[in-house]
Structure 1
Amino acid sequence: MNEDINCRLIEYEAIKPHAGAIPPSSKSKRKNKTSSSSFKHPNKEQKMQPAILRDPDATNKLLEAILEAPNGKRMVSRLARTCRAFCEPALNVLWRDLDSLVPILWQFPGHLLKKARKPGMGFVKTPSEEDWNSVLKYSERVRQISYNERSNAVSASVFAVLEESRPRSYFLPHLEELNWKVETPAGLARCALFLNPELRAVNLEIGSRLPQLDSFLSDLSNRTKLTSFSFVSPTSLPDSFTDIISRQLTLEKVVLVAPGALAPGVGRWVASLPRLKNLRLDLTGRSVIAVEGFFDELHLQSGDSTPSSVTSTDSGVFSGDEDDDVDFSLIRKSALHLTGNLRSKGSFAQMRKLHLTGDVSNIAVFIKHITTPLTQLELVIEDPPDRADWHDLSSMICEKFGESLQTLRVTATSASRFIDLVRSTNRAEPPSGRLSMEHLTYLPCLTRLEIDLPESVIFTEEDVRYIAKACPNVEILKLCPLAGFPAGAGAPQITLDDIAHLVRSCKNLHTLATVIDANGKNTDILTSRGVSSKSLLRLHVGHSWLDDPLQVAILMSHIAPHLETLKWFQEKNRPGFIEANARSWQKVSELLPHLQGVRQLERQFALATAVVIPVETAEKSIDATTKTVDRGVHVYPRMRNNSAQVSATLVSQVVQTQSNYTSTGVYATPSTVDVAVEAIKTLVSQEVDAVPELVTESVEATPSNIIIKSVQALLTPSTFSRAHSNDPFPFFIIPSILNLFSLAYRLFIFYPLSLPSQILHIAAARIRSKQAESKQASPIAPPPEPTTTATTDSDIPLDTLVVEVRD
């Protein structure tokens, strides 16, 4: 359907410049004429429009009604293509709510898509900025969009391309509501593409446990300012859910269908929302203690425990006899009720709509803690409910919300409907449960009562009378219109007489949907003018029984002379279908309009031929002179001084703080080990014949010319090289200084140490020589040892120094 609409919208954009049958020449003349006249009469074009187009709200209502009809989208799209006046409003209605991202992808050029007829499969090429022009033109009209990961209508690669190539931050700038149903972390991450500042409602349905849910909720809370938030999941809420979502103080609607939604912390957060008007919770499978725990942390913050509260029963008077105390809270509450200034200071102060799912007993426990005046109450119960629990719940609803409740809906859970579906496929007996209405005492403000249960479908004459008495202002009444009553199970127990009694008591009833038994001969209805309803316009009889179509058509023309719509089930594959009843109701629908016309003519004739009794009149004059009286009143206020002594109670406390010290000793003596090592030097005596050879040379020291020479003795080459460097001192002074140091070293240090050692060596040598001679004299003496020439510590005499003389 959406693909067809978008194709037609593209065609409309293509033919828009060529619309009309006016020739180009006359068209241009007409355009000039219109432009010239519009300057004189700016509102002429608006006056020429139909009345429906002058009011935008009326236009939207008309288009919405067309949209909800069968093939409504196709009709609105045709209206947008054929009428320029309806073009903009029709496009706004068509693009306002999208159930997929596919209509937006249709606006990209076809050569960018893998398949032009299936744009959800992805892109072949990344769109450029010009390719977004058509998308941005229609995306500004989108207010709501939905995404379901299971449908696989849009490939995952599409979101990456959109995020990479989008020309602006939010390509859906006016998006207000987002419906996101995912099961994987990747699907949840795609939702960030649509989180714009104008977003007001987010409905999340998560099928599995996602680890990054906390970070997503934190990002959602930081980037948006929501008025509606829904979280539906089979897994429990995150532990930090209330801390993350606590920033959303403008929430008006909260839906929590997940384990952990009844935690005391969640109850405290929900109760603290100042603008909360609509609350939906799931109590399925929870115990009464868990339901009570939802309100555990509310009592301390409700303000009902102080004597100054109007809802408190504490009078503030401390007396031993409680029977003599006056309950001033009731007096204050009555006074505020009369003036209209009563404001609830407790929890859920602004809540007006409540939607609960679960067992009837749990719902009764939850409603017991609600003190605010509800206007809408929707209950999804386990069918069939326990009779005693249902009676308690009915009485509690009438007692707590009798003066404010306007809508009451009771439906069955999905588990109950599944059991009913299984039973219908096995061709078993129809259900025989009964939902009694006897405990509905008084609901004067109730305008809508809907009960749709698969099991408890039997309503009796007494139930209809209880409803007519308890709900005199009801406008829409539906009592299990989908119930089936096969021939072997017995007929429905509601008859046309009961319908007549209902329309007599409920003057505002305009929609009725219930299963009835119209086989009886109810001739007494025609004799009463009071059973004729002027408000009943729509009647849905479902699988009602019928055997005489003409009689029923006559009775219906009297009960509902202004009836516009009569519906019944005609599908043969529906459980409980009886073909004879369907054919009879078809005849009733054919006869009823003619009988209604006859009925209207008869009543008009009766009014025209009615005898008018003249009223006797008499003339009488009355003196109406106003008498005035001057009167003065001396008014002075009475003053009263009240003093109150207020003294603060001081408490002095001393806290002794002493640090605990612990002393620990550590034995840290190092371990020592004594080890004896015998270190005896090995002495080796050697003799060296070091008789130097004396060489005498004569040197002529008489210089022929003035030549400065230096003699270097016992100097290293490096010292000599430094002597020739660029020094600030003369180079011939350094050798003289070194010679002085060398001479002092020999005289005072070297000679005193070397002479004694030489003497000792000489003496030892002589002793060893004598021992050798004595050994040679003995016959068994060992061979003589080789004589060494010198000792290792022998010194070199000064005479052996080599003196190098350099010019």
Structure 2
Amino acid sequence: MASLAILRDPEATQKLLETILDAPGGRRSLSRLARTCKGMCEAALGVLWKELDSLVPLIGLFPNHLLRRTRRPGLGLTKPPAEEDWSRLLAYGKRVRRIAYNESANNVSASIFPIIDDYRPQTYILPNLTSLTWRADTAAGLERCLLFLTPDVKTVTLDINNKVSNLRDVLKQLSNRTRLHTLSFTSHVALPEDFTDLLHRQNALVKLSLNAPGALSSAIGKWVSSQTKLRSLELDLTARSIVAVEGFFEEIRPRSGYSTPSSVGGTDSGVFSADEPDFSDIRKSALRLTGDAPLRGVCPQLQQLQLTGEAANIAAFVRHLNSRLAVLDLVIDDPPDTNDWHELATTICEQFGGFLQVLKLSAVNSKFIELVRSTSRDVPLKPLSLEYLTFLPNLHRLDIDLPESVIFNDSDVAHIANTCPNIEVLRLCPLAKFTTTPPSLTLEGLVPLITECSRLHTLAVVVDGRTGPRKDEDVFEQASSSRSLMRLHVGHSWIKDPFQVAIALSHLAPHLDILKWFQEKNRAVVEEHAKGWQQVSDFLPHLQYLRLSERRKAAGGSQVEVRERIVEVEVPVMPPKPEVAHQAIDATPLVVDQGVLARPRLHEASVQSSPDTVDKGVEASPAVSSISIDATPIVQDESILVSPVVSEIGIEVQPLTSSTMKPRKHLLQVQLEPRTALVKDLSYLKHSQSDTRRSAGQRKSW
């Protein structure tokens, strides 16, 4: 029973299971735990099904005889499921809180969605869904998200790769069905012109992310400023002009002084003239370019800001904000121009220096960056000066990850130690790789940082550890030893003498718990340096133990010396004390440990609300009348007497004879029928000709 004591605290159980899930093979471990331990089954299943990155696990809950292939449920179903086939899917669907779908992955057949739409036993198969991530390439793929868009959804992430025709309809239904707290919209095509009108009901947004052409329009800026509960904002300023960035604040607040005759940006010249040309747009553009335009504030309640683009555009954007930002995440082009970086750093410190707690700098085109970092080819390295950052008293995390601007000197780290005294996490391009030239930052350069920043617990830098500290230096003083530094990541740092570096680290960070560097398994590294840091990792625990033991003994010896000195002080002679008797009384109160197990009685009550429906049929048959009409045509019989004209022609045929006998004359009579009779009955002519020939023969014989 002691092993199940954790079940008494649901929050502790939840944290433990989430930790197991984040570990390597955590999902499989939780699955085994749910199958083997009855007490942990429900909690483990809740963590397992809380977040899904695909619809495939849900489809696999259908009976096996319905699936086309059991091992690949995404291929679809062989026939529509019956009502009892939905039981498992609905039972596990209640546990799902977040789900994602990617159409380009092509792991779910499109035939699944019409089946869900037509045969689902209830309106939403995921009734407790709160977060929906949908990546679509086609109009049909985008429309499928409406099947899972429950009224309880608070977070929606839409990623559209191509131009779709039904985007306005989907956004309209999205706005009508839900009341979102987080909206992320990413598209490669421009936003609809009436984007703000479609989402006018969404006035409770806490986090907003817009990465699409047209996101810097004045209408979007006015809509963003109207979100009174907005705490986090993400915008993309890539390939935008300064005028376009300034246009985001065009309609937020009317410009003061533009209506005066003497104003540079005004349109009134002081002289009445109806035909005077309007140069207001040109003047406003000139003010924006020169920096003389009046600044205006927007979103004073904003706490987190993430911007992507050039350093100059980001500097122009943050100059308009008057909010107390706590987190600033910037994705800039690398390497930035020196003047633009100087302006950006100065603007950040002036606008948010007293409130900023987290500052992150990363580069665009992360895929190319990872490709360069994982190979052995040289990367053009350039310095990034940190001396432009002024006083940041509340900054506790500084994270810089740029592929080319990776050169930091000892002076930069010393400046950070003076500028950010409360820094806790510091990462200065730990993924940088120096192949031909050594890093500019040395191991001795970390001493000011460790001395001034007493809260520093995580440090990730690339250093040159080939030359260790000398004995005559102040590195081994007690003040230069950190009690808070627990994690150190040295990346591709150079090293020559591992034992000397281990001695220095044992003094600088005697309580160091984690030491990381790049090995052959995860990076293309220099084998010599990797082996050197491996030896440092082997030496360091033993040297740390010796270092801490020496310090404890030194602290204990000093106390003994102090006590001895106190005893050696001369005590004045006092008169003898009277005899007293010591008597001890046991006044220990009786304590009884008594525990009361207070378990609230829980009653589960379920209410099924189903509306009463009434089926009504209305027979609408129009009145029909039958009318019969006698349409027999009038027929007249007429007789025509047709008698053909007959003519008789007599032909005298006298054959030529050579005999001396006297020829006889024969008379041949031919009766010609009319032409119509000759055409219709050819046989008549044949018979007539045969009869004629026969009569001629008979006459000849005569």
> TM-score by structure 2 length?
0.72
- Report the Cα offset of residue 93 of structure 1: 1.4
Q: Distance in 1 between matches of 2:520 and 2:56?
A: 33
**1:605 aligns with one of 553, 563, 570:** 553
CA apart distance, 1:424: 7.4
Secondary structure (helix, strand or coil) at the match of 1:354 reads strand
CA 1:281 to 1:223, structure 2 compared with 1: closer, same or farther past 3 Å? same
- Work out whether residues 283 and 363 of structure 1, in 8 Å CA contact, stay in contact via their aligned partners in 2: yes
What is aligned with 1:335?
none
8 Å contact kept, 2:297–2:321: no
1:426-451: CA deviation from partner (whole Å, max 9, x where unpaired): x6532221111001111111111100
- Partner of residue 183, structure 2: 229
Q: Is the 8 A contact 2:374 2:523 kept in 1?
A: no
Q: Write the distance in 1 (CA, Å) between the matches of 2:439 and 2:23.
A: 32
Q: 1:535 aligns with which of 484, 494, 499?
A: 484
For residue 92 of structure 1, the aligned residue among 40, 43, 46 is 46
Corresponding residue of 2:518: 569
On the 8 A contact 1:431/1:455 being kept in 2, the answer is yes
Counterpart of 2:658 in structure 1 is none
1:118 to 69, 72, 83: 72
Tell me if structure 2 keeps the 8 A contact 1:482–1:542: yes
Q: 1:526, CA displacement in angstroms?
A: 5.3
**1:672-691 superposed matches below 5 A:** none
Alignment partner of 1:497 is 2:448: no
The verdict on how the C-alpha distance between 1:304 and 1:521 changes in structure 2, with shifts beyond 3 A counting, is: farther
1:312 counterpart residue number: none
Q: How does 1:209-288 map to 2 (within 5 A)?
A: 209-288=163-242
What displacement does 1:80 show?
2.2
Deviation, 1:67, is 1.7
Counterparts of 1:248-647 in structure 2, within 5 Å, are: 248-300=202-254, 347-414=298-365, 418=368, 421=371, 428-486=377-435, 488=436, 490-523=437-470, 524=473, 527-571=476-520, 574-575=523-524, 577-612=525-560, 613=562
Q: C-alpha distance in 2, partners of 1:88/1:267?
A: 46
- Alignment coverage as a number of residue pairs: 527
Shift in CA distance, 361/501, structure 1 to aligned 2, threshold 3 Å: same
Following superposition, the deviation at residue 606 of structure 1 comes to 2.0
- Find the residue that maps to 2:229 and give its secondary structure: coil
The residue type paired with residue 59 of structure 1 is T
* 2:305 alignment partner, SS class: strand
Q: Measure, in 2, the Cα distance between the counterparts of 1:403 and 1:89.
A: 43
In structure 2, the CA distance between the partners of 1:525 and 1:87, relative to structure 1 (3 Å rule), is farther
Cα distance in 2 for partners of 1:78, 1:586 equals: 36
Q: Determine the C-alpha separation between the residues in 2 that align with 1:545 and 1:472.
A: 28
Q: Distance in 2 between matches of 1:187 and 1:608?
A: 73
Measure, in 2, the Cα distance between the counterparts of 1:246 and 1:555.
61
The 3-state SS of whatever aligns with 2:559 is: coil
Q: Look up the equivalent residue of 1:458 and give its one-letter code.
A: I
**Does the 8 Å CA contact 2:180/2:205 hold for their aligned counterparts?**
yes
| Other-structure match for 2:655 | none
Is contact 1:515-1:544 (8 Å) kept? Answer: yes
What is the distance in 2 between the residues matched to 1:428 and 1:71? 34
SS in 1 for 2:339: helix
Q: Report the CA distance between 1:124 and its aligned residue.
A: 0.8
SS of the residue aligned with 1:601?
helix
1:194 is matched with which residue? 148
Change in 2 beyond 3 A, CA 1:57/1:130: same
Q: Does 1:203 align with 2:157?
A: yes
Contact in 2 for aligned 1:572/1:579 (Cα 8 Å): no
Alignment partners' CA distance in 1, 2:422 and 2:35? 45
Equivalent position amino acid for 2:186 in 1: V
Question: C-alpha distance in 2, partners of 1:598/1:589?
Answer: 15
CA contact (8 A) 2:476 2:507 kept: no
CA contact (8 A) 2:520 2:527 kept: no
CA RMSD between the two structures? 2.3
Residue 180 of structure 1 and its aligned partner are, at CA, apart by 0.5
- Equivalent AA in structure 1 for residue 136 of structure 2: V
5+ unaligned residues in a row in structure 2: which ranges? 259-295, 572-702
Give unpaired runs (5+ residues) of structure 1.
Answer: 1-44, 306-344, 619-807
Partner amino acid, structure 2, of 1:439: Y
Instruction: Please say if residues 472 and 506 of structure 1, whose CA atoms lie closer than 8 Å, have aligned partners that are also in contact.
Output: yes
* 2:127 is equivalent to residue 173 of structure 1: yes
Measure the CA separation in 2 of the matches of 1:594 and 1:604: 16
Counterpart-to-counterpart distance in 2, 1:593 and 1:583: 17
Normalising by structure 1, report the TM-score.
0.63
Separation in structure 1 between the aligned mates of residue 29 and residue 465 of structure 2, nearest angstrom: 39
- Is this contact kept in 2: 1:497–1:525, CA < 8 A? no
Assess, with a 3 A threshold, how the Cα gap between structure 1 residues 423 and 494 changes in structure 2: closer, same or farther.
closer
Q: Name the structure 2 match of 1:798.
A: none
Give the Cα separation in 2 of the matches to 1:352 and 1:566. 33
Deviating beyond 6 angstroms after TM superposition, the runs of 4 or more aligned structure 1 residues are: none
Aligned CA distance change for structure 1 residues 417 and 135 (closer, same or farther; 3 Å): closer
Amino acid at match of 2:302: M
The CA distance in 1 between the partners of 2:430 and 2:117, in whole Å, is 49
Q: CA deviation at 1:71?
A: 1.6
Distance 1:203 1:432 in 2: 37
Give, as a single letter, the amino acid of the residue that structure 2 aligns with 1:505.
E
CA distance in 1 between partners of 2:51 and 2:474 (Å): 48
Aligned residues of 2:373 and 2:432 also touching (Cα < 8 A):
no
- Output the CA distance in 2 between the equivalents of 1:429 and 1:115: 49
- Partner-residue secondary structure (3-state), 2:558: coil
Greater radius of gyration (CA): 1
Contact 2:74-2:107 within 8 A present in 1 as well: yes
Q: CA deviation at 1:597?
A: 1.8
Does the 8 Å CA contact 1:420/1:455 hold for their aligned counterparts?
no
Structure 2 equivalent of residue 182 of structure 1: 136
Corresponding residue of 1:59: 13
Identity of aligned residues (%): 52
Using a 3 Å threshold, how does the CA distance of structure 1 residues 97 and 572 change in structure 2: closer, same or farther?
closer
Counterpart residue type for residue 133 of structure 2: N
The letter of the residue matching 2:433 is G
AA aligned opposite 2:456: L
Contact 2:438 2:494 in 1 (8 A): yes
Matches within 5 A, 1:770-781: none
Give 1:665's aligned residue.
none
**Per-residue deviation at 1:197?**
0.7
> Contact 2:447 / 2:475 at 8 angstroms: preserved in 1?
no
Q: Secondary structure at the match of 1:610?
A: helix
Partner-residue secondary structure (3-state), 2:185: strand
Counterpart contact for 1:473–1:506, Cα < 8 Å: yes
Q: Is the 8 A contact 1:500 1:525 kept in 2?
A: no
The structure-2 alpha-carbon separation of the partners of 1:186 and 1:85, relative to structure 1 and needing over 3 Å to count, comes to: same
